[in-house]
Copies of this chain bind each other. A is one copy, B any other.
Amino acid sequence: MKIKKRCSAIIEALPYIQTLAGKTVVIKYGGSAQLDNELRKKLCSDLVMMQTVGIKTVLIHGGGPEISSFMKRLGKTAEFIEGLRITDEETAEITEMVLVGKINKTLVSEINLSGGRAVGLSGRDGNLVRAERMKHITQKGKEIDLGLVGEPNRIDTAILKDLLEHKYLPVVAPTGMAADGRMLNINGDTVAAHISGAIAAEKLIFLTDQKGVLRDVKEPDSIISAIRIDELEELKRIGIISGGMIPKLDAARSAIEADVSAVHIIDGRVPHSLILELFTSAGIGTMITRH
């Protein structure tokens, strides 16, 4: 009987909910999960569910593809060096407009329609992310200027804590504020790692376009379900962690080192993957921990 199973699904979620109630979980969200309307709606429901059962939830979003497409509308081509966007004044302006004025508001609105109480923040609101310009050394050892690109040097968590205490769900656009007040564009995974460390989150979850860390990229079932941070270097060396996974796992490591208990890399393309990961025994994706 259907109804019966529904009940047991709910009741089996109980111990998971009990474990996380009152704790803080940071979600970093990007890629297809962000672009697909249906997936996005489901994610927003999941976030509201988390908040409702008492998990302090912070969402950090990305924005790559939409920034590039908007630049195209303005007749401007995005330039990248080794995967990093060169950010001149105009690019910076557009980046902030798209991240803060478009993507962030779409998410806030979707969460609020699902019955949540989201408030959007950029790194400049409440001095959340103070940042400094990042120097990039190319693989050939040349130092190049990426423009208005930064990395966090101080997280002021007061605004997050105040909003969470009043049961709001903060939605954060990954930007920072330089000493002169200017916006700096920051990698979303980096912001997520810094913020989750600074607010002593229990978990940081990356919603990605992959099933997790795969032992063999061609075998989608070869997921490594658990990695200790002291194994990361070896996994990089033997090429299991490569490409876009490298910065993500570096972010994971720095979060763990800042006392986040666990970082999860899960598949954002699976509907309700957050619920699956957090409230069922399914245990999808890869979990990174200290020990």
Decide yes or no whether A192 CB sits under 8 A from chain B.
Answer: no
Decide yes or no whether A280 CB sits under 8 A from chain B.
Answer: yes
Interface centre among A52, A93, A158 (most CB of B within 10 A): A52
Interface residue total, chain A, C-beta cutoff 8 A: 71
Do A122 and B105 touch (CB < 8 A)?
Answer: yes
Chain B residue contacts of A110, Cβ below 8 A: 181
Measured between alpha carbons, how far is A127 from B99 in the docked complex, in Å? 19
SS of A interface (majority): helix
Q: Of B14, B98, B124, B280, which is within 8 A of A97 by CB?
A: B98
Contacts A53-B53, A101-B102; A115 near B18 (Cβ below 8 A): yes
Decide yes or no whether A3 CB sits under 8 A from chain B.
Answer: yes
Measured between alpha carbons, how far is A94 from B4 in the docked complex, in Å? 38
Give the contact stretch, choosing among A143-151, A222-230, A256-264, A271-279.
A271-279
Decide yes or no whether A21 CB sits under 8 A from chain B.
Answer: yes
Instruction: Report which A residues bind B (CB closer than 8 A).
Output: 3-15, 17-18, 21, 42, 45-46, 48-49, 52-54, 73-74, 93, 96-102, 104-105, 108-110, 112-115, 117-122, 124-127, 158-159, 162-163, 166, 168, 177, 180-183, 271-272, 275-276, 279-280, 282
Do B15 and A13 touch (CB < 8 A)?
Answer: no
Nearest first, the 9 A-B pairs at minimum CB distance are: A101-B101, A97-B101, A9-B9, A6-B9, A7-B272, A100-B101, A97-B97, A113-B181, A109-B181
Q: Of B54, B119, B276, which is within 8 A of A54 by CB?
A: B54
Measured between alpha carbons, how far is A177 from B106 in the docked complex, in Å? 11
Residue of B nearest to A99 (CB): B101
Q: Of B48, B114, B119, which is within 8 A of A126 by CB?
A: B119
Contacts A17-B52, A49-B14; A105 near B183 (Cβ below 8 A): yes
Contacts A52-B17, A97-B97, A101-B101; A117 near B108 (Cβ below 8 A): no
Chain B residue contacts of A93, Cβ below 8 A: 102
Do B5 and A9 touch (CB < 8 A)?
Answer: yes
* Cβ distance A17 to chain B, nearest Cβ, rounded Å: 5
21 contacts between A and B (CB under 8 A): A5-B6, A7-B271, A10-B49, A10-B279, A11-B45, A14-B49, A14-B114, A14-B115, A52-B54, A53-B54, A54-B54, A97-B98, A100-B105, A109-B177, A112-B124, A113-B180, A117-B127, A120-B125, A126-B168, A158-B166, A162-B168
